[in-house]
Amino acid sequence: MSKYLAFEEGKSTEIIKHGHEKFQMYAHEVRIRPLGHAIEAHVNVNLDPETKLKEIHMITNSIKQSIIEEFKLKDVVVVPVPKS
């Protein structure tokens, strides 16, 4: 089993749980994929559509750094999605 496949199994759920516990937000989609010899994640998070852009930027950067540090990833892309 490759390093990528071994990491991928179950980590999407752990990333969702991490975001919920640490930031009280819901990540409704997490994609994990190889990036050269490292691993990256693409995380869609539900945010209030009334949130100001500056605050969204601060929130998504905090989430990104937290996930990188917690899961030792090369990069994380956090995409804010308005919750309905």
Q: What tokens appear for 83 in the block?
A: 């919750």
How many domains, in total, are found in the chain?
Answer: 1
CATH number of the domain encompassing residue 57:
3.30.70.1350
Q: Output the CA angle 31-2-28, nearest 5 degrees.
A: 15
Mean pLDDT value of segment 12-37: 88
pLDDT of residue 39: 85
pLDDT in tens, 72-81: 999 999 999 9
- State the residue range of the domain holding 52: 3-82
Over 50: is that where the pLDDT of 1 sits? Answer: no
Q: Can you give the pTM of this predicted structure?
A: 0.85
pLDDT tens digits along 25-74: 888 889 988 888 888 899 999 999 999 999 999 999 999 999 999 999 99
CB burial readout 36-75, b (16+ within 10 A) else e: eeebbbebebbbeeeeeeeeeeebbeebbebbeeebebee
